[in-house]
């Protein structure tokens, strides 16, 4: 399994996303550009230039028309995917931590950080109403007073957003009323990442408490747990196998104080049903910040603190692999 190395960022990768067909990968990092790549050969298609701060999040709508990026320059921007033209800029009072299109591609949500005296907000905009964009006035704003949102994804049918918080809580916020529909607290530390399964029936969380958990996305029932001995920065569910991949490593600031051997910067594969680890992939020179499966399940990518994105195409024996129970 020889990885394709994507060098397009000068600073650590914060998020990578495939589009729905999986032919493109979007990557954002703590420098100011968002890159888009061909996933088949790692060729760079282009960049989205305009942000003036670190980028925290990126998302692409279902027909790959528009791209959404959220940044620490206190703005969330909408881009034309094909041309790289900036279509809209939504200003906020603090950094934008998470962003996403709902399944229709018409409604976007993004959450802002609790910083500089401002509290954390979850904002919903309807892109079909140009007035909202022009006035920078979301149709719904949900304040999160207790604990800030650190990661969020849209639930099935665009009815609610599933958000993970700094204190380990997971909430469902309705996209119509903004009320909290469901609330669970299975983690006791910050949730670093939430990703959905390909059919949106399940979500997987990655937490600083060294574990990753699988939940039902409508009921938020806790299904499975995957434990490691390092903080988990990101986790993804395979679309075709009962596998999850997790990326992590210790905090970026503690890396220099430990030897590279103890760093454990591997991507780790767990069986989703048996909760058993069955494989590791080495490669990154620093913690893995984000992992994502290709929608066809035949490859996966990881983005690290080292500023590289690596695309791994699985070997044929991966697909024949059966875990002995």
Phi and psi at residue 98, in whole multiples of 5°? -135, 155
Instruction: Report the distance separating Cα 133 and Cα 259, nearest Å.
Output: 49
Q: What percent of the chain has pLDDT over 90?
A: 66
User: Average model confidence (pLDDT) for the chain?
Assistant: 89
Q: How do the domains of the chain map onto residue ranges?
A: 9-235
Residue 144: per-residue pLDDT: 84
Residue 302: per-residue pLDDT: 93
- DSSP-derived secondary structure letter, 95: -
User: What fold is seen in the domain 9-235?
Assistant: Methylamine Dehydrogenase; Chain H (2.130.10)
Instruction: Report the distance separating Cα 247 and Cα 227, nearest Å.
Output: 12
Question: Residue written as tokens 């603190």?
Answer: 305
Strands 180-185 and 191-196, sheet pairing: unpaired
Residue 22: count of CB within 10 angstroms of its CB: 18
Task: Kindly indicate the confidence band of residue 258, based on its pLDDT and cuts at 50, 70 and 90.
Answer: low
pLDDT at residue 256 tops 80: no
Q: In angstroms, how far is the first alpha carbon of the chain from the final one? A: 25
The tens digit of pLDDT for each residue in 102-148 reads: 998 899 999 998 877 788 888 999 999 889 888 888 899 988 878 88
pTM of the model: 0.91
pLDDT at residue 9 tops 80: yes
pLDDT at residue 262 tops 80: no
The tens digit of pLDDT for each residue in 157-197 reads: 889 999 999 988 999 999 898 898 999 999 999 999 999 99
Residue 253: per-residue pLDDT: 64
């Amino acid at each position: 399994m020889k990885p394709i190395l994507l060098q397009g960022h000068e600073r650590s990768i914060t998020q990578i996303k495939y589009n729905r067909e999986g032919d493109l990968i979007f990557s954002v990092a703590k420098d100011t550009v968002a890159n888009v790549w061909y996933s088949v050969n790692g060729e760079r298609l282009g960049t989205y230039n305009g942000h003036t701060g670190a980028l925290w999040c990126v998302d692409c709508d279902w027909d790959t028309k528009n791209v959404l990026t959220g940044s620490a320059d206190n703005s969330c921007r909408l881009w034309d995917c094909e041309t790289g033209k900036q279509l809209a800029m939504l200003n906020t009072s603090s950094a934008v931590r998470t962003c996403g299109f709902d399944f229709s591609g018409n409604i976007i949500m993004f959450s802002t950080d609790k910083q500089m005296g401002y509290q954390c907000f979850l904002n919903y905009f309807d892109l079909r109403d140009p007035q909202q964009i022009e006035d920078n006035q979301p149709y719904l704003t949900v304040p999160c007073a207790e604990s800030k949102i650190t990661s969020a994804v849209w639930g099935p049918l665009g009815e609610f957003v599933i958000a993970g918080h700094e204190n380990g809580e997971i909430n469902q916020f309705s996209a119509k009323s903004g009320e909290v529909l469901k609330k669970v607290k299975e983690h006791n530390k910050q949730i670093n990442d939430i990703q959905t399964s390909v059919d949106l029936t399940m979500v997987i969380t990655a937490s600083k408490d060294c574990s990753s958990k699988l939940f039902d996305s409508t009921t938020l029932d806790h299904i499975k747990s995957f434990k490691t001995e390092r903080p988990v920065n990101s986790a993804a569910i395979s679309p075709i196998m009962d596998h999850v991949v997790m990326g992590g490593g210790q905090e970026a600031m503690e890396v220099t104080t430990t030897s590279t051997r103890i760093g454990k910067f591997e991507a780790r594969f767990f069986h989703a049903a048996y909760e058993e680890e069955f494989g590791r992939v080495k490669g990154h020179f620093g913690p893995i910040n984000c992992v994502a499966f290709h929608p066809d399940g035949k490859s996966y990518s990881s983005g690290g603190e080292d500023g590289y994105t690596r695309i791994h195409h699985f070997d044929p024996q991966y697909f024949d692999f059966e875990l002995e129970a």
